[in-house]
Amino acid sequence: MSASSDVVTYEIENRIAWVRFNRPEKRNAMNPALNRRMMQVLQELEFRDDFGVLVLTGAGTAFSAGMDLQEYFREPEAQGLGAVRQAQAEAYGWWRKLRWYQKPTIAMVNGWCFGGAYGPLFACDLAFAAEEATFGLSEINWGVIPGGGVAKVAVALLGFRDAMYHVLTGETIDGRKAAEWRIVNEAVPLARLKERVTEVAEVLLRKNPVVLKAAKDAVRRVREMTYDNAEDYLVRAQEAAAFLDSEGRREGLRQFLDEKSYRPGLGPYDTARKG
Ligand code: ACO
């Protein structure tokens, strides 16, 4: 199953949706047209039941070279504040949708990844990069701060000293360094990147999807809560997940305690079977 438009393409293969930034000639810089189309694609896909994991990647040599400096900055600024706010809302809007997406998401960073691209990168639950990829917060190089949430992403992902260094120097790092700094989970050679991401997606596809959504939201939410608030939130999140799937947890326990057909410490229960 596949569909495409100019600036965003996607295909669904073996229950994985591969969504691509598709302006390779502009290194997948995010212009308003791309931001609008990406929001549409994410909305079209979100509740479909023919896939369980979404992978975001880029066509050509880039994941994304960040915001389109001509079409996202210069042109709206020439039109006035209303156009600037409109462009921001369109970009931030799809990143927010992706942060709280129904399905687990993986960023597959195949190449250039600059500035604003850290928004969707952070929005994805997991991230894998090519060792050959190049990351950078280049804002400082052309005269702006890492806005659009990017400074927040830097401190959310990196330690304080590394975040400050990354923001202030604008120096690039490769995929290996990005893994060392925890911007991504892992870096592998580009030739193996799709294979590794597919492997991880397949692990997720074997889990209970209701619990995956509750778990990924919980990890994002509790980061900013006190311990007591988190404890309370998690009780309620667990109960809400049980409301959406009352059988899953009982079945997981049954297959272990009664049937002894799997070990939860070592892998998932068989979600296809109901006791
Ligand atoms: N905005 C607008 N156009 C861009 C962008 C961008 N962010 N990135 C690349 N392009 C365009 C180039 O202008 C060029 O267009 P043209 O062919 O019409 O002249 C085309 O994409 C190819 O770019 P090159 O620079 O020729 O490609 P190369 O592979 O040599 O270099 C690189 C790639 C390093 C990504 C370079 O294009 C670059 O530095 N881009 C800007 C990266 C950046 O700083 N992004 C902004 C981050 S800050 C923020 O997002 C808020």
Residue-level pLDDT, tens digit, the chain, 275 residues: 444 459 999 999 999 999 999 999 999 999 999 999 999 999 999 999 999 999 999 999 999 999 999 999 999 999 999 999 999 999 999 999 999 999 999 999 999 999 999 999 999 999 999 999 999 999 999 999 999 999 999 999 999 999 999 999 999 999 999 999 999 999 999 999 999 999 999 999 999 999 999 999 999 999 999 999 999 999 999 999 999 998 988 999 999 999 999 999 999 999 998 76
Mutation probe of ligand 1 site: the residue of 69, 132, 167, 172 with most atoms within 8 A of C-beta: 69
Residue nearest to atom 33 of ligand 1 (CA): 27
CA distance linking residue 212 with residue 268, whole number of Å: 12
- 194 class by beta-carbon count within 10 Å (0-12 exposed, 13-18 middle, 19+ buried): middle
Distance, CA of 29 to CA of 62 (rounded, Å):
9
Give me the pLDDT at residue 54, please.
Answer: 99
Domain ranges, ordered by start, for the chain = 8-205, 209-259
Task: Enter the tokens of residue 107.
Answer: 């960023």
User: Which residue has a Cα nearest atom 26 of ligand 1?
Assistant: 26
Atom of ligand 1 nearest to the CA of 116: 50
Q: What angle do CA 91, 94, 98 make, to 5 degrees?
A: 135
Ligand 1 pocket residues where CB is under 6 Å: 26-27, 29, 61, 65-70, 112, 114-116, 138-139, 148
* pTM for the predicted model, two decimal places: 0.96
Cα(31) to centroid of ligand 1, in Å? Answer: 12
Residues 118, 9: Cα–Cα separation, whole Å? 20
User: In this predicted structure, what is the pLDDT of residue 275?
Assistant: 65
Closest CA to ligand 1's atom 21: 26
Q: Provide the CATH number for the domain formed by 8-205 in this structure.
A: 3.90.226.10
Mutation to probe ligand 1, out of 25, 27, 75, 92 (largest number of atoms < 8 A from CB): 27
Tell me how crowded residue 74 is: count the other CB atoms within 10 A of its CB. Answer: 10
Distance in Å, CA 69 to ligand 1 centroid: 8
pLDDT (0 to 100) of residue 4: 45
